[in-house]
Structure 1
């Protein structure tokens, strides 16, 4: 039985097959990867991840907590600087071994296609259902410990299974490597807190001679991550959001640009790529994360958030370049809906 007979208008559902779980990662062809390789001229690399204990605390998102690092246990003792002579008097070694409790989307991160879905009438029977990209279903393909009902009550489902479809392991297997293209909003709009619409992006593209092709990764430097670093794990949330740019998620022309440009992913150094919260919606029913819905739910276009872009963007601008090779796989963690990343740019 087909999961859907109707797809959202303008979506890519089914374009790469009824059971596709990759979305626009399908555009990472050999040719797309080679376009990235061709941008490597200096052999210089840039780490695009914040330290994973940033932003610090839970003020940006109370549901996301800093990593908790601790040693594993050996013979009931902390396995850190552990002398193996405790077990064997002839041993010379000391060893360290640790573990971490990690909120997967606390710091520099990828959003998988299982991160945001919507209510949509996939069968044409007049009854919207909770679904994700390509019609994969809540509670059967993406499975938590409970099923939520329209009245707000919960039905227990048992053990948490996570994303049985669309999880980050699909992104990891696709490697997420290709050509990155930098759109430097900070250079053009400063720390203005400007809400960026299609016209604003178009002006930067034209001014900097930027060319984007299907299969590219598109990155936006706003200065948000740099401001976080300057706050040293004590984020001033009001200042962060008031002084750094974000995309206008309700701009339908911007949506069309994302559709037309064929980007595999939109990536930013800010909290959500789009403005969070978005501009007020005048319709009866609205997406609370409209650009997330357009990208993750309709297009299969991934989102990267809280990346560190300062050093790379400064180097690109100083060298009159906008493109580079990007290598950015997530953790190959089956069932996860998001993942930390340590992306690398090579120029």
Structure 2
């Protein structure tokens, strides 16, 4: 920690929100000016339950992760005997949903998701992360996120549909695409990698492009409130679906642990890219899962 800049103590010794503290009322109001047409785009992948969808594997996910389970009672074949009667001639269907956010759907990482040694972000004890939840830095601490979103459409900048699997986005590319990043912005990184899913599942699982360690430090140095990406880990992955970088250069440790920058992963950014807007209002609200290491989200771009 001594050799690497960090935000420990910056927002107080008890802080559990990191750079989301930069989203003051004044910053949020200024961010709202980025919306000019009122058009709203969802940046989320669909959730297709393995028990209720005919094609649960048709949504990008990391190999080996349990797919979402979605049970409905309307047909009487799942967790309940049938649709409940609530009055004369009226029926109601219920849902039960089990989701493993990391690696299977659009989600937001909590600051307790990854750490090194015995301490979470800001020096909170890692021993407080247990099977029944994290007593420090859980996703419920994040609250809602309303900020100016800045799209880094790296493939379009390079004249590509998507980046190659081994491509690592360096800080110089980010500087070329959007040099005017302001404190409190949400950096939205498009690699185009979800497009590969429709062509070949095996190619999708062969690795993933993503940010380099230098790019992560560049964003942290500009005080972004959050980093969101359309790949599975913000940084790149190898064929084993793991990062090649050592701990010093691991993107999750740089952003989550050292700087308290929440991450959002597995976004769908194709409509946003097609709209040609590099600046917009970014909205995301994680579920208030007490002690959760992350939460599914449906992030919105307001153009």
Scaled by the length of structure 2, what TM-score is found?
Answer: 0.85
Superposed displacement of residue 225, structure 1: 2.5
Counterpart secondary structure, 1:275? coil
Counterpart secondary structure, 1:78? coil
Aligned to 1:131: 119
- The answer to whether 1:143 aligns with 2:145 is no
Output the CA distance in 2 between the equivalents of 1:118 and 1:40: 39
- The answer to whether 1:94 aligns with 2:96 is no
Mark the CA change 1:59 to 1:265 in structure 2 (over 3 Å): closer, same or farther: closer
Mark the CA change 1:7 to 1:170 in structure 2 (over 3 Å): closer, same or farther: farther
Aligned to 2:180: 211
Is the contact made by 1:328 and 1:341 (CA closer than 8 Å) also made in structure 2?
A: yes
Superposed displacement of residue 196, structure 1: 1.3
Output the CA distance in 2 between the equivalents of 1:221 and 1:58: 15
Counterpart secondary structure, 2:126? coil
Aligned counterpart for 1:10 among listed residues 5, 15, 19: 5
Gaps of at least 5 residues in structure 1 are 1-5, 86-90, 120-129, 145-160
Superposed displacement of residue 289, structure 1: 6.9
Aligned counterpart for 1:334 among listed residues 270, 290, 303: 290
Superposed displacement of residue 49, structure 1: 0.3
Superposed displacement of residue 67, structure 1: 1.1
Aligned counterpart for 2:112 among listed residues 111, 114, 122: 114
Output the CA distance in 2 between the equivalents of 1:202 and 1:291: 18
| Aligned alpha-carbon RMSD (Å) | 2.7
- The answer to whether 1:170 aligns with 2:135 is no
Counterpart secondary structure, 1:307? coil
1:138-169 deviations in whole A, cap 9, x for unaligned?
22x2123xxxxxxxxxxxxxxxx211111111
Output the CA distance in 2 between the equivalents of 1:32 and 1:167: 24
Output the CA distance in 1 between the equivalents of 2:86 and 2:29: 48
Superposed displacement of residue 257, structure 1: 1.0
Is the contact made by 1:79 and 1:95 (CA closer than 8 Å) also made in structure 2?
A: no
Output the CA distance in 1 between the equivalents of 2:186 and 2:79: 46
Greater displacement, 110-119 / 30-39: 30-39
Aligned to 1:148: none
Instruction: Decide which structure has the larger Cα Rg and report it.
Output: 1
Scaled by the length of structure 1, what TM-score is found?
Answer: 0.75
- The answer to whether 1:256 aligns with 2:235 is no
Counterpart secondary structure, 2:187? strand
Output the CA distance in 2 between the equivalents of 1:179 and 1:197: 22
